[in-house]
């Protein structure tokens, strides 16, 4: 029997029952589902970090995987639930831009989820993860076709400013997308767009610091040295060997990063 995969990405944390409840709802509908936690520690109210996390995760999962993302400060308001099809996989969550970075990379189709018979009733005003997104994901995993959940829309929300802006002939302003557990500063400069530039002499300015060294592995640098490296997800990262670049540079997600080529 095929065991469909459902991933969960939320800001619910791990101290409460919320994530467990979503899994109970899913297993009640599709008992043979495989449920994988991507993370539940995303910052609340911050769709860009969620968008980055989902974009980093989805490509490593099998076709037909259903990715559920719930960072949803607008729960209970008029924001819509959506279902996106992209890369042979499904993405279910609120219409707040959370799938923007996947949509920028993949051909995609977005539907507004309107078929209420797939929801748990009564739908609460505060926990759509349980009442809307988990049951929709479970029914998708069970084989219900996307078209049965609602009609395509093209006015779904996309986050702006996800890519670096060119500010001069040889200069771009980007940002720190995310600081990871090791203190690596993940920028929004992607190797597909900037791989050639950083083979030349360059400066990456973040906070009060300017980094000009490109490394190919952590281990080739001295402990505590700060350098730029092509991260495992394709973005340029500012890192330090056996130390937190975030602490050394005093930077957090959202901070600007400026690239200059010489």
List contacts with its own copies (CB under 8 A): 2-3, 5, 7, 9, 12-21, 23-25, 27-28, 31-32, 34-42, 44-45, 53, 56-57, 60-62, 65, 73-77, 124-127, 130-131, 178, 180-182, 216-220, 229, 231-232, 242
Q: Nearest to residue 225, comparing CAs of 234, 215, 233?
A: 215
Q: Which is nearer to its own copies, 76 or 152 (CB)?
A: 76
Taking the complex as a whole, the smallest distance from the CB of residue 102 to its own copies amounts, in Å, to 13
Distance of CA 121 to the CA centre of its chain: 29
Please say whether the dihedral angle defined by the alpha carbons of residues 233, 234, 235 and 237, taken in this order, is positive or negative. positive
Distance CA 218, CA 176 (A): 19
Q: Which is nearer to its own copies, 51 or 204 (CB)?
A: 51
Residue given tokens 């006015």 in the structure block: 155
Residue given tokens 């083979």 in the structure block: 199
Q: Which is nearer to its own copies, 44 or 252 (CB)?
A: 44
Q: Is 209 helix (H, G, I), strand (E, B) or coil?
A: strand
Taking the complex as a whole, the smallest distance from the CB of residue 201 to its own copies amounts, in Å, to 21
Q: Whats the size of the chain, residue-wise?
A: 262
Q: How far apart are the first and last CA of the chain?
A: 57
Taking the complex as a whole, the smallest distance from the CB of residue 145 to its own copies amounts, in Å, to 22
For the CA atoms of 187, 191, 192, 195, what is the dihedral angle to 10 degrees? Answer: 130
Taking the complex as a whole, the smallest distance from the CB of residue 23 to its own copies amounts, in Å, to 5
Taking the complex as a whole, the smallest distance from the CB of residue 36 to its own copies amounts, in Å, to 5
Q: Which is nearer to its own copies, 69 or 172 (CB)?
A: 69
Q: Which is nearer to its own copies, 122 or 262 (CB)?
A: 122
Distance CA 8, CA 70 (A): 8
Query: 165 has which bridge partners?
Result: 173
Taking the complex as a whole, the smallest distance from the CB of residue 222 to its own copies amounts, in Å, to 13
Taking the complex as a whole, the smallest distance from the CB of residue 146 to its own copies amounts, in Å, to 21
Residue 47's H or E segment, with its range, is helix 47-58
Query: 111 has which bridge partners?
Result: 83, 152
Q: Nearest to residue 188, comparing CAs of 197, 178, 175, 179?
A: 175
Q: Read off the DSSP letter of residue 129.
A: I
Q: Which is nearer to its own copies, 6 or 172 (CB)?
A: 6
Q: Which is nearer to its own copies, 58 or 194 (CB)?
A: 58
């Amino acid at each position: 029997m095929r065991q469909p995969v459902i991933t969960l990405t939320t800001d619910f944390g791990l101290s409460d029952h919320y994530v467990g409840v979503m899994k109970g709802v899913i297993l009640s509908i599709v008992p043979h589902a495989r449920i994988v936690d991507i993370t539940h520690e995303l910052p609340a109210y911050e769709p860009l970090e969620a968008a980055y996390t989902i974009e980093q995760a989805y490509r490593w999962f099998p076709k037909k995987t259903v990715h559920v993302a719930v960072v949803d400060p607008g729960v209970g308001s008029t924001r819509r639930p959506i279902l996106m099809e992209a890369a042979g996989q499904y993405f279910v969550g609120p219409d707040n831009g959370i799938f923007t970075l996947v949509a920028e990379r993949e051909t995609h189709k977005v539907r507004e989820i309107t078929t209420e018979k797939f929801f748990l009733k009564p739908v609460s005003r505060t926990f759509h993860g349980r009442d809307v997104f988990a049951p929709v994901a479970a029914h998708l995993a069970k084989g219900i076709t996307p078209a049965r959940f609602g009609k395509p829309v093209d006015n779904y929300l996309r986050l702006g400013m996800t890519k670096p802006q060119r500010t001069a002939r040889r200069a771009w302003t980007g940002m720190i997308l995310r600081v990871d557990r090791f203190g690596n500063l993940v920028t929004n400069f992607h190797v597909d767009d900037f791989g050639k530039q950083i083979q030349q002499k360059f400066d990456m300015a973040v906070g009060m610091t300017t980094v000009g060294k490109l490394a190919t592995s952590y281990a080739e640098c001295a402990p505590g040295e700060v350098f730029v490296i092509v991260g495992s997800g394709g973005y340029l990262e500012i890192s330090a060997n056996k130390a937190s670049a975030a602490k050394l540079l005093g930077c957090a997600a959202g901070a600007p990063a400026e690239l200059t080529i010489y």
